[in-house]
Structure 1
Amino acid sequence: MRQNRLQDPDTLGDKIFKIVMPTVLGALAGKVFKTIWDSRVTNRRGPAGGDAAEDANQQGFVASIIFAAVSAAFSSVISTLGTRGSDALVTRRQNRRNGK
Structure 2
Amino acid sequence: MSKRNEHISPADGTDLDSTADKAVKAINKVDDKVTALRRQRMTDPDTLGDKAVKAIIPSLAGLVGGKLFQLVWNSVTSKVHPDLDDDERDRQSGIMMSMLFAAASAAFGVLVTRISDKGALDFVQHRQAKRTRR
TM beyond 0.5 = yes
Q: What is residue 99 of structure 2 aligned with on the other side?
A: 65
What CA distance in whole angstroms lies between the structure 2 residues aligned with 1:74 and 1:4?
36
Counterpart AA for 2:122: A
Is residue 78 of structure 1 aligned with residue 115 of structure 2? Answer: no
The CA deviation at 1:2 is 1.4
Between the two proteins, the alignment pairs up a number of residues equal to 93
Q: What is residue 94 of structure 1 aligned with on the other side?
A: 128
Off by >2 Å, runs of 4+ in structure 1: 56-59
What CA distance in whole angstroms lies between the structure 1 residues aligned with 2:70 and 2:56?
21
Is residue 9 of structure 1 aligned with residue 56 of structure 2? Answer: no
Unaligned runs of 5+ in 2: 1-36, 85-89
**CA offset digits 1:57-91 (Å, max 9, x no partner):** 59611011000000000010100011100000000
The CA deviation at 1:3 is 1.3
Percent of matched pairs sharing the same residue: 35
What CA distance in whole angstroms lies between the structure 2 residues aligned with 1:98 and 1:47?
62
Higher RCO (CA < 8 A, seq sep 6+):
1
Q: What is residue 52 of structure 1 aligned with on the other side?
A: none
Structure 2 CA distance for partners of 1:57 and 1:30, relative to 1, 3 Å: farther
Is residue 42 of structure 1 aligned with residue 78 of structure 2? Answer: yes
| Alignment RMSD | 1.9
Rg (Cα) greater in structure: 2
What CA distance in whole angstroms lies between the structure 2 residues aligned with 1:33 and 1:99?
41
Unaligned runs of 5+ in 1: 49-55
